[in-house]
Amino acid sequence: MLEVKNLVFAYPGQDTPWVFNFTVSPGQCIAVHGASGSGKSTVMNLLAGFLEPQSGDILWQDRSILSLPPWQRPMTSVFQEHNLFEHLDVQTNIGLGIHPGLKLLPDDQQAIENGLQSVGLGGLGKRLPGDLSGGQRQRVALLRAILRQQPVLLLDEPLTGLDSEARDLLRQLLLEQKSRGTIIILASHDKEDRRILADSVYRL
């Protein structure tokens, strides 16, 4: 279980801090919902460890993860800027998500190829990110995050800008992740994303 407990945060100069509180169980998706500027990306960044709260706690399986750096937290994030390595091809970009040292086992390579097929990018593993469309890059970033198999996925507008076919494929993939027990924290302006994926809504 992931618990966000009285997590207090304000940017420098901000008068009223946010106080975030919510709990998510394995296999559940919580949609963080609110107007533009309400703090959705901020809470994601706090969870990921890119921002430090003033007080409060984040518990994973009853233990605080607040002192852990981002790479040691049980989560993977996909934010709007996709952070693909431009000089590495698609399959290597994804492989780095699975094993940072890139010692890919045959099973991993198969998982990458299957994953690319499942998001409609079969056969594009050797392309450089610069030779993909924006939506294709987005799918690569999301697939890389999913294949890391961390217990928690932090998704900030993950499907925005994709065509309806790609959206359907990725929603399906995210539903499969949920059924395997992955927790999803989802910030999306899209009602359909929330209706299909979310079990609860956390309003900001």
Handedness of CA 103, 105, 107, 110 (dihedral sign): positive
Question: Considering the complex, what minimum distance in angstroms separates the CB of residue 17 from ligand ATP?
Answer: 11
Question: Considering the complex, what minimum distance in angstroms separates the CB of residue 147 from ligand ATP?
Answer: 26
CA distance 14 to 186: 25
Task: Tell me which of 1, 6, 8, 11 binds ligand ATP, using CB under 6 A.
Answer: 11
Task: Tell me which of 9, 20, 28, 40 binds ligand ATP, using CB under 6 A.
Answer: 40
Q: Are 127 and 69 in contact (CB under 8 A)?
A: no
Q: Which of residues 17-36 bind ligand ATP (CB under 6 A)?
A: 34, 36
Q: Per rule CB under 6 A, is residue 138 in the interface with ligand ATP?
A: no
Residue 8: HSE in the Cβ half-sphere, 13 Å Cα cutoff: 7
Q: Which residues contact 119 (CB under 8 A, 6 or more apart)?
A: 139, 142, 143, 166, 169, 170, 173
Task: Tell me which of 41, 118, 149, 160 binds ligand ATP, using CB under 6 A.
Answer: 41
Q: Per rule CB under 6 A, is residue 109 in the interface with ligand ATP?
A: no
Start-to-end CA distance of the chain, whole Å, equals: 21
Q: Per rule CB under 6 A, is residue 42 in the interface with ligand ATP?
A: yes
CA distance 93 to 107: 16
Task: Tell me which of 4, 20, 29, 39 binds ligand ATP, using CB under 6 A.
Answer: 39
- Number of residues assigned to the chain: 204
* Residue closer to ligand ATP (CB basis): 12 or 123: 12
Question: Considering the complex, what minimum distance in angstroms separates the CB of residue 37 from ligand ATP?
Answer: 4
CA distance 97 to 71: 11
Question: Considering the complex, what minimum distance in angstroms separates the CB of residue 22 from ligand ATP?
Answer: 15
* Residue closer to ligand ATP (CB basis): 36 or 164: 36
Give the binding site for ligand ATP (CB under 6 A).
Answer: 11, 34, 36-42
